[in-house]
Amino acid sequence: MLFFLPVLCLGWILRRRGAWFKWFLVLVSLFFYGQLGVNYLALLLLVAAVNWGTVRLVASSEREATRKWLVAGDVALHVCLLAFYKYAEPLFLLLTELPLGNGCLHQWLMESGMGDVVLPAGLSFYSFMGLSLVIDHYRDRTLPPRSFPDVLAYVSFFPTIMAGPIMRGKQFFPQLQRTRAEASDFNEGICYILSGLFKKVVLATFLSRNLVDPLFEMPDSYSSTAALVGIYAYTIQILCDFSGYTDLAIGVARLMGFRLPQNFESPYRSLNLQEFWRRWHITLSLWLRDYLYIPMGGSRRGNRYVNLIVTMVIGGLWHGSGLNFLIWGFFHGLGLAVVHAFHSLRDRMSLFSRFDGRGWSITGKVLAWVLTFHSVAVLWVFFRAGTFDEACGVFRSVVQGGGSGSFDLRILLIIALVLVMQWVGPACFSRFAALMARLPWVVQALVAGVLGGAILAMGPEGMLPFIYFDF
């Protein structure tokens, strides 16, 4: 808040001054990101400069082959950066175990510092934004290349740099020209911030500290019931944690006069995995679809089921290098392939027309929801566990139990509350925002302050890092 309040005020003062506002936005974003370490700024500036230069070269080149090579080079650079930072540590551990060179290799690796490489926060997200900028300019030659301050403001925008949502250039650049604020931006921005704080500070942190973290650290210490509730608890925790961050980002950006794309739309009310990925981490799902799945052939060229599985496997490996992430991505891809196959069969055979989701009976919808929700919940275990063996330990605890560990009954209340909010939450948010809009601004500020203070008071001391900061 000490950072944001002066930024908010100065930002709107400079909004009418064009270039002044852009450079102001760049400077405050670099200052914000620089709190993690000055060395991270160099990598951010490199990514911005490379993408800016590539866009200008692509726009000025007349030869199609040259344009393709420029884009390929930009993609290769980003892939190498991500691969190095995400896989340096596991590669280091693998190489140190090889009995080569009478221990010389081990000694050289220990002295090289390769094992100390840390993934720069936000690298995945601003890399994806930079890549989309280059590829969009390659696909559409009518798009004008942007100035370097524009591109730097785009990739470094402080509400999104840590964990998205992943914006496209066509969503961001027109908003740089806005010079007037709308009352709804301030009203809804405050409501989004309160929503994000409640999800993260109260719900996600409580679930993590009171069951999820202890369960995954010592699964053998818990009974079957507690382990099963723990899986449900993490399923709710990751939603509250990530959608809470997204709400905070959307709210802060809205106060600054920027409208970010929605990233979550009640994903746990989905009736199949295809619908789930249309509602969960929407900007990443669309990015993978537009820049990976469709270029591989999508549903028009090659085998669309293979394309789906490969896309999700790559999405899993993007999250981490362990076998557990590979399994998570593979089974989500397999589930998507099954859904697509079922839809294809339904369209060809009128016998299955009654299974169209819009015409299902209540029983059919409930069964579809139960199957989808539990498929997602089971796969979240692989996502949360540090290794494949840890995931197996949690499943073994569910089946065999044996421990005496229990859980706080309030966890069941939170799980039920969040699931119910998947259906009624959007309407509740709209009504609360409409109610706030009818109040005088002084009363709005007072209500926001009281609710914000109450949320912080309900939360425990300190706050755990956001889950997606790891990626």
Catalytic site residues? 319
First to last CA, the chain: 25
> CB burial class (10 A; 0-12, 13-18, 19+) of residue 47?
buried
Nearest to 159 by CA among 283, 28, 58, 51: 28
State the CB neighbour count (10 A cutoff) for residue 60: 10
Distance (Å, whole) CA 83 – CA 453: 42
How open is the CA angle 235-240-244, to the nearest 5 degrees?
155
How open is the CA angle 340-243-427, to the nearest 5 degrees?
85
218: β partners: none
| Distances from the Cα of 56 to the Cα of 130, 170, 222, angstroms | 13, 16, 58
Distance (Å, whole) CA 183 – CA 174: 19
State the CB neighbour count (10 A cutoff) for residue 348: 9
Distance (Å, whole) CA 137 – CA 168: 11
Q: What sign results for the dihedral spanned by CA atoms 282, 283, 288, 289? A: positive
